[in-house]
Amino acid sequence: MLLIDRRGRRYMITLSPGGQSDLRGGKIGHDELLGRDAGGTVRSTRGERFLVVRPTLAEFVLEMPRGAQVIYPKDLGAILMLADVFPGARVLEAGTGSGALTMTLLRAVGPEGRVASYEVRDDFARVAERNIQRYLGSPPGLVLRRHDVYDGILPDDRPLDRIILDLPEPWRVVPSAAEALAPGGIFLAYVPTILQGMQTVDALRASGSFALLETLEVLMRPWNVDGRSVRPAHRMVAHTAFLIVGRRVQRGAAPAAIEVPADAEPPDESGEAPEDPEA
Ligand SMILES: C[S@@+](CC[C@H](N)C(=O)[O-])C[C@H]1O[C@@H](n2cnc3c(N)ncnc32)[C@H](O)[C@@H]1O
């Protein structure tokens, strides 16, 4: 559960029968919270009140223990749309890191889908495993492997609908991704620097097996809405990483022209009906 004090500070605790948590100098008995509806409040033995809610996945990701740096929720949401992760999809992810993206993918593919996640570091893999277990239990479609994805994609994990990479050299995975992805499958890499992004785009282009390449980043600016103080927040998470996306096509069906140019006419997102040329 997520307990939030009157200043908005957050404390994530895992409830157990008979257990208790020390919060800001007071104690909270877990039995008082177990079986109760979320959305109420609880008082510590020091008299301090806390709002009690179940953490959303975005909240859990930001509060959970980390081995490696996690992907922020603003990017996790975009990844699901850009890679079009659908219920039942067969997805490969590398590296597992702290498990933030793994959990996001597992929820999107659902019980019929499969997420194979590769990680080279035992310590990170253990942190991820605990985080996933704590938030999702034992999802049926999860396969965690200690494997270096630069050595290739394992036969047991093929074919794949989607490949999503958050590691330093995603371009090294392009040749095996081209083999492992089903036709029309999507490759997505998440990289903190644009030089990594360029190298990935170059590798996708050079392979001849990918089209509809896109490079973008997601900026999210929260606002403060409080009485007449209606303004952007002073702080925001600005740069996190670049997203590089490509679609697996038949070799040779990917001339440079079949890409999404960054300066293409933007899609109409106004929600208004398009003008009728006959009117
Ligand atoms: C930034 S972290 C991933 C964080 C993860 N996406 C999350 O949201 O929690 C990058 C991870 O990739 C792993 N890694 C690096 N190279 C790898 C490789 N060749 N194969 C598999 N995992 C690799 C690192 O050990 C690290 O845990």
pLDDT in tens, the chain (279 residues): 999 999 999 999 999 999 999 999 999 999 989 988 889 999 999 999 999 999 999 999 999 999 899 999 999 999 999 999 999 999 999 999 999 999 999 999 999 999 999 999 999 999 999 999 999 999 999 999 999 999 999 999 999 999 999 999 999 999 999 999 999 999 999 999 999 999 999 999 999 999 999 999 999 999 999 999 999 999 888 899 999 999 999 887 765 545 666 676 666 666 666 666 555
Do 99 and 125 contact (CB within 8 A), yes or no? Answer: no
The residue among 54, 69, 98 that closes a domain is: 54
Domain around 241: 59-248
- 49 shares its domain with 101: no
- 38 shares its domain with 68: no
- We report the CATH number of the domain holding residue 50 as 3.10.330.20
Ligand 1 surroundings by CB, under 6 angstroms: 68-71, 94-95, 97-101, 118-121, 124, 148-150, 166-167
What is the pTM for the complete model shown? Answer: 0.91
- 178 shares its domain with 222: yes
Task: Scan for tokens 């440079």, then name that residue.
Answer: 256
- We report the CATH number of the domain holding residue 215 as 3.40.50.150
> 125 alpha carbon to ligand 1 midpoint, in Å?
9
- 194 shares its domain with 101: yes
Q: Please give the tally of structural domains in the chain.
A: 2
Tell me how far apart the 2 most distant CA atoms of the chain are, in Å.
72
Do 225 and 236 contact (CB within 8 A), yes or no? Answer: no
The closest residue, in CA terms, to atom 5 on ligand 1 is 97
275 within domain boundaries: no
- 47 shares its domain with 64: no
Helices (H), the chain: 57-63, 73-82, 100-109, 122-136, 174-180, 194-207
- 47 shares its domain with 78: no
- 149 shares its domain with 100: yes
274 within domain boundaries: no
- 76 shares its domain with 49: no
8 within domain boundaries: yes
> 105 alpha carbon to ligand 1 midpoint, in Å?
15
The closest residue, in CA terms, to atom 27 on ligand 1 is 97
